[in-house]
A and B are shown apart, each in its own frame.
Chain A
Amino acid sequence: DAGVIQSPRHEVTEMGQEVTLRCKPISGHDYLFWYRQTMMRGLELLIYFNNNVPIDDSGMPEDRFSAKMPNASFSTLKIQPSEPRDSAVYFCASSFHREGSPLHFGNGTRLTVT
């Protein structure tokens, strides 16, 4: 299994631009999570999906952030317009829908907004 695949690995963009981060979960996993990692706030959950349906987006910072999961093998996290404070590492993770099933993380996307 190739694991969770995220792209791009690095993204540098200017303030005001649209940014799209992509994720391919592990085949067969029912849950998909988007986390953000910063020095100040650590790892925080942004949103998660169960069987492609968004369940809890209370961690999404504001309306500039949106996430979709059109099918079981693909998800996107979009920021429009981007701001310098959005600079962070964004992780996608997936797991089985079984209690206690561990999350498997992608390699993350490091986003820098100048």
Chain B
Amino acid sequence: AQTVTQSQPEMSVQEAETVTLSCTYDTSESNYYLFWYKQPPSRQMILVIRQEAYKQQNATENRFSVNFQKAAKSFSLKISDSQLGDTAMYFCAFMKHRGANNLFFGTGTRLTVIP
């Protein structure tokens, strides 16, 4: 079974600063996909970034980037130049390479950006 662990229930960061959210996972699969989703107070689940496990290069989307360490089964999210709109719950999620596209979610990290 796949498990996803987010060990930081809550974090805060000053506006314009950089913050890193941690995620580790456990799987016996050699190929898979990893995601970060954002859930602001509006409740909507928004895709932030996607990583393919067989790609060495870390994914980047504007101010969001990941540090993917396959051997360590670690998938952290770095948010640069934090903005007030980044305040949200952030969920790390795992998807198998084969089979259905269902996601296995971590418990989330609540991020607060302080003005």
A residues whose Cβ falls under 8 Å from a Cβ of B: 31, 33, 42-43, 45, 48, 50, 55-56, 89, 91, 93, 95, 97, 99-105, 107-108, 110
Contacts and interface: CB of A to CB of B under 8 A. Distances in A.
Given A43-B105, A105-B45, A107-B44, A100 B100 contact: no
B51 to A, nearest CB: 10
Contacts of A103: 47, 101-103
A43 B35 CA distance: 14
A42 B105 contact: yes
How would you classify the secondary structure of chain B's contact residues: helix, strand, loop or mixed?
A: loop
Interface of B: 33, 35, 37, 42-47, 50, 52, 91, 95, 97-98, 100-103, 105-108
How would you classify the secondary structure of chain A's contact residues: helix, strand, loop or mixed?
A: strand
Contacts of A108: 43-45
B101 A107 contact: no
Contacts of B105: 42-43
